[in-house]
Structure 1
Amino acid sequence: MCENSDLELAVKGLPGKIAAGSGWRQFSLNVYNSSDKDVSDVYYFAGASFDKDGMELIKSRQVTLQAYNEELNTWDDLVDQEGNAVGYVGESSKIEAGYEVDIKLRLNVKASAPAGTAFTLGAGFYTGDEDCSGFADVSYKFEIVPAGTNTVGTEPQEGGKAPVPSEKPTESTVPAVTGALAETGSSSTMPMFALAGGAAVALGVGAMFVVRRRQAGSEA
């Protein structure tokens, strides 16, 4: 029988305005299981679009997204078969109650990207358990500004929908995600901007977990 659980989803580390041609900017996706139930077979994704509904996908040649592969110690492009900046960034066989995962991401707004254009960057997850499934995402609106513009102190606006890859991944095509230690009772990566909490997902029986348990008094 399926039961609901809360996975808290957050993105942090990016300003609200990003200058074209300013190089790589690193940020992170954090997923924290604040419930007392385990969540199994969790797949994480990220993507960028010009519209708030996550449908008008941005080409990777304009805004390049990459995810850090913990298994190979490499940065991998997030790009689909049409050259769009969207893809899966990792998977966890199980997130136990009170555990969390952190996924390193980065983006590069190319010099050719149109200044003055707004775009939506989103990330999310879905659970692929055979008996139960669930989905949640969080997204933010950013503005591409001319090269040399000071973007310090700007913050993105929450809203919209995260672009979703058109094909579901398999364990053989998506790297396993390791976790980070944090203080007990709350996410170690409370975002620079809003947190998407209370994402109802389904639970099932998991395999070997790939995240580490939180420990009291430790730091991320």
Structure 2
Amino acid sequence: MKLCRPLAVAAAVAVATPVVLLTAAPALAAGASTAQTQNQPTYAELVKAAADAQKAYEEAVIAKEEGQKKLKAALDSLDSDTHPLKAATIAADKAAKEAAGAKEAAEKAVADAEAALEAAQSDTEKAEAQRAFEAAEIDLAKAVEAKQEADATAKEARTALDDARVAAVREYSVVQDAPEKALKAKKAAEEALATAKECVRENGLTSLAVGLPSKVVAGTTVDFTLRVTNGTERTLTVDPLAFFHVDGEHRGEKSHLEVEWSNGSGWQALNGNEPEHIAHIDSMKPGERSDVKLRMKVASVAQAADAFALFAGDASDAYNPCVLGPMKRYDFELLPVGSKTGPADEAKPGRPGENDDKRPDAAKPGTDTGPSAQGGASKQAAATGTGADGNLAETGTSSAMAPLALAGAVTVVLGAGAVFAVRRRKAADNV
């Protein structure tokens, strides 16, 4: 009885095991360079490895169950008197037993003949007793030889039966441990995939507002640019994130700010007070820059209020479905109709949040001015793509659940919660 499928499964497990020993980038770690990813499995390869390991485990479990059934059937069959090997053993044992009885009878006949020879008186009686004794000894020799042959045949029959039982058990042993090995491979593959799913920080992926004024008068329209730069060593698929909020306004209600964006193919409106990904960039090579046009209209009925905008780059590449660039916050004011603004008024990344000292990646207040609205940047910002002021906490994994660095409780509730949810949803969509 052959177990072809179990053997194939065992072989598949052995082949699949080395694949799942590969690992992916750690959560929210700095993005790997091109050199570092040359020998790293892609996310698609990790997905396939996990799927293959899952399938191998399922097949190993089924193969073991089938192997158990086949082993029991094989052993039951070998224990049946009708099985050729068992029948041969029974017949050989019977023949050996009969041969042993014949030998015992021959031994007794020799003993009796020897006693008769000793008791004989006359020469005639002695001659007859001698002939009987010699004949008995010949019969005993034949009986001994017959018993030896019968014993050997019985031993061969029992060995053949035992070998068949051992072969059945050995065949089952091939798949007996396969589920355990396949489960280890499956867990390793799942862990590698889970690691790859965790969000990776890329400080070089910057999203900066260029030309956003710090004061906007009601009833006016402001044009500015969101400049997305891939300052990393990786080719990325980028979805810039934009969010605008006016103090006193709540999610779901009509805002006094109407914001539209364009990548050169018409204008599209942002969804009110909801954070949104805009201007999908399918392939952004290292060093490339893309400008997204933004247009902000302020309703004439708008009253004086504080407002802010958040910008960040959410991305993915062949190795990570979730890559997060630093988030920038720009504070600006809404002024009533007829207010005057000076030409030098421009928005800059906002003040550091109250949780900066709780985030190991956050700069302390006052250490850097951050990039300006016109695209200027300090030396630190130019080198890393980040500035201390307005560089918000990255979100996207459980390790980033600390409150975002936004100023004020209202901002934390309305801004951080909404943006966190959108970035997490985007990361999940890329998986």
> Structures share a fold, TM > 0.5?
yes
Deviations 1:111-157 (A, max 9, x none): 12222x10011211111346422222211111111111121321224
1:125–1:58 distance in 2 versus 1, CA, 3 Å:
farther
Structure 1 or 2: more helix by fraction = 2
- How do 1:1-220 and structure 2 match up within 5 A? 2=25, 3=32, 5=202, 6-22=204-220, 24-35=221-232, 37-50=233-246, 57=251, 59-70=253-264, 73-79=265-271, 83-84=272-273, 86-115=275-304, 117-129=305-317, 131-132=319-320, 133-135=322-324, 136-152=326-342, 153-159=344-350, 191-192=373-374, 195=377, 198=384
Aligned residues: 163
What's the CA shift for 1:190?
7.5
Counterpart CA distance in 2 for 1:28 and 1:60 is 24
Q: Which ranges of 4 or more aligned residues in structure 1 deviate by more than 4 Å?
A: 55-60, 193-197
> 2: distance between equivalents of 1:160 and 1:94?
33
The residue identity in structure 1 corresponding to 2:219 is: G
Percent of residue pairs bearing the same amino acid type? 23
CA contact (8 A) 1:62 1:110 kept: yes
Using the size of structure 2 for normalisation, the TM-score is 0.34
Q: Which has the larger radius of gyration?
A: 2
C-alpha distance in 1, partners of 2:345/2:291?
24
**Separation in 2, partners of 1:85, 1:59:** 10
The Cα of 1:14 is off from its aligned counterpart by 2.1
Aligned residue type for 2:258: T
Give the superposition deviation at 1:57.
Answer: 4.8
Q: Which consecutive unaligned segments of at least 5 residues does structure 1 have?
A: 162-188, 202-220
> What is the alpha-carbon distance in structure 1 between the residues aligned to residue 252 and residue 258 of structure 2?
9
Q: Which runs of 5+ in 2 are unaligned?
A: 1-23, 26-31, 34-201, 353-370, 387-393, 395-431
Q: What is the TM-score when the length of structure 1 is the normalising length?
A: 0.63
